[in-house]
Homo-oligomer: A and B are copies of this chain.
Amino acid sequence: MLNEQMRLSLRKRLGEAYFRDDRETLVSYSYDATPMLQSMPDGVVFPRDTEDVAFVLKLANEHRVPIIGRGAGTNLCGGTVPVEGGIVMVMNRMNKLLEIDTDNLTATFQPGLNTKEFHLAVEAQGLFYPPDPSSMVISTLGGNIMECAGGLRGLKYGTTKDYVIGLEAVLPSGEVIRTGGKLYKDVAGYDLTKLLVGSEGTLAIITEATVKLVAAPVYKQTMLALYTDIHAAARSVSSIIRHRIVPATLEFIDNPTLRVVEAYNKLGLPTDMEAVLLIEQDGVDESVVAKDMEEMIRLCREEGAASVQMARDADEAERLMKARRSALSTLSRIRPTTILEDATVPRSKIADMVLEINRIAKKYELQICTFGHAGDGNLHPTCTTDARDAEEIHRVEQAFEEIFEAAIGFGGTITGEHGVGTVKAPFLEWKVGEAGIALMRSLKLAFDPNNIMNPGKIFAKSSRKRVVVNR
């Protein structure tokens, strides 16, 4: 797909080290964190600056060669797998934190910047950038923006989309656009900024971003509520919300997840519980945080929690949060393949959804552990399986189809924070309808008339038929 002339041209522009087409490099960029998905690129580029990006895009566009932008490849939807070959564009050289502006409470950076590194730099100034995907130690901000990453603090603080206010982006033509700025309000034309956030590399390559920052919460308290009844846990979530408390974190962990997490982390959690809520409140005022915690303890007890306990100290709180964040990696130790999904429902439907997931798991004789962000209805049903067992994988696929179907039925969506990628493309029509797909396709063409930007993502060659679920 890459002819000799293109290779020469890329090598000349970027240098030997930054255009690679040796087999080892190609293999390294043929997969990402998504299980069971691999496809070889034809070349890999490492641009140094916006001009490099524009050069490569223009050339690729002229030759109709796919461009797959990539940060750390931690996504779970196959978003950075070069399913149609082409050039993987790795943004890790463009990783500068350009500015933290304490007067305007904004930060400006290049897309390759590591998420956790950015958090630490911002927090050192007494400021706070809330989006905290579980992969944040490895992930890049550019990847977070392209997938609209969420995390554990979404309920109170929102997701990546709520923070990005300005972008520099290179169109497939090589033209550079700038959207928004250090502006909390800007209605000059269509909101290209929010359109690019979550566009999964299918529209443009972003080369710089400006985000809003908020005041860092100074106080934080953590508690665990344990339940023998999953409904009581779900009722507690609703009750907290109904009482107008917005905790920073409101995580749900079901029994299968609990058992695995406990087995590997030895936190002393009682593994006979059906559900656990891990709740954190933060704020700039200690008494308000304390009052919220007291009220939430009362509400959890009222709804039938078997036990509610506060983390004794910051260390214990940190261990609990770490255990929760490590749920995916812990689960992945059980069996060879771990498939984590993120069906999302209105938060009043969490109990219904978890029970439905359990029913489906039983029907297909699978182990599905469910944990996730209960406060915003974003659940992560996670199947531990074995990719080598074709028959079992077929059942896994059927189960997830039913899970997506159920989420849609509850007024939910097929993906809350992971993106569509290749993995969920066949199901997108269930959520947005035929007219929605057609419209999105035409928006894609407006940006990318030759379909070179991450082709094969978001849009499926054919949509999956909806299963008739026998309930």
A-side residues, CB < 8 A to B, are 101-106, 126, 147-148, 150, 154-155, 159, 161-162, 171, 175-179, 181-192, 194-195, 197-199, 214-216, 238, 241-242, 244-246, 284-285, 287-288, 291, 344-348, 373, 376-378, 411-420, 424, 428, 431-433, 435-437, 439-440, 442-447, 458
Closest Cβ of chain B to A213, distance in Å, is 10
Q: Are the CB atoms of B458 and A187 closer together than 8 Å?
A: no
Pairs of residues from A and B, 3 with the lowest C-beta to C-beta distance, nearest first: A215-B244, A185-B416, A442-B446
Q: Are the CB atoms of A417 and B184 closer together than 8 Å?
A: no
Q: Are the CB atoms of B186 and A436 closer together than 8 Å?
A: no
Closest Cβ of chain B to A320, distance in Å, is 23
Q: How far is the CA of A242 from the CA of B213 in the complex (A)?
A: 12
Closest to A103 in B: B348
Closest Cβ of chain B to A394, distance in Å, is 24
How many copies the complex holds: the figure is: 2
Q: Which B residues are in CB contact (< 8 Å) with A288?
A: 284-285, 288
Q: Which B residues are in CB contact (< 8 Å) with A192?
A: 432, 436, 439-440
Closest to A430 in B: B188
Closest Cβ of chain B to A158, distance in Å, is 8
Q: How far is the CA of A155 from the CA of B192 in the complex (A)?
A: 21
Q: Which B residues are in CB contact (< 8 Å) with A246?
A: 214-215
Q: Which B residues are in CB contact (< 8 Å) with A186?
A: 344, 413, 415-416
Q: Which B residues are in CB contact (< 8 Å) with A411?
A: 181-183
What would be 21 A-B contacts, judged by CB atoms less than 8 Å apart? A103-B347, A104-B348, A148-B187, A179-B436, A181-B411, A181-B412, A183-B344, A185-B416, A187-B413, A187-B415, A187-B416, A187-B420, A188-B432, A189-B431, A190-B458, A191-B195, A195-B443, A216-B244, A285-B291, A287-B287, A443-B446
Of the candidates B106, B176, B215, B345, the one whose C-beta lies within 8 Å of that of A435 is B176
Closest Cβ of chain B to A288, distance in Å, is 5
Q: Which B residues are in CB contact (< 8 Å) with A177?
A: 432-433, 435-436, 439
Q: How far is the CA of A195 from the CA of B242 in the complex (A)?
A: 30
Closest Cβ of chain B to A203, distance in Å, is 8
Of the candidates B155, B183, B197, B431, the one whose C-beta lies within 8 Å of that of A377 is B183
Closest Cβ of chain B to A187, distance in Å, is 5
Q: Which B residues are in CB contact (< 8 Å) with A344?
A: 183, 185-186
Q: Which B residues are in CB contact (< 8 Å) with A418?
A: 187
Closest Cβ of chain B to A468, distance in Å, is 22
Q: Which B residues are in CB contact (< 8 Å) with A191?
A: 148, 161, 194-195, 197-198
Closest Cβ of chain B to A319, distance in Å, is 26
Q: Which B residues are in CB contact (< 8 Å) with A194?
A: 161, 191, 194-195
Of the candidates B184, B241, B412, B416, the one whose C-beta lies within 8 Å of that of A347 is B184
Closest to A203 in B: B190
Q: Which B residues are in CB contact (< 8 Å) with A431?
A: 188-189
Of the candidates B159, B199, B244, the one whose C-beta lies within 8 Å of that of A190 is B199
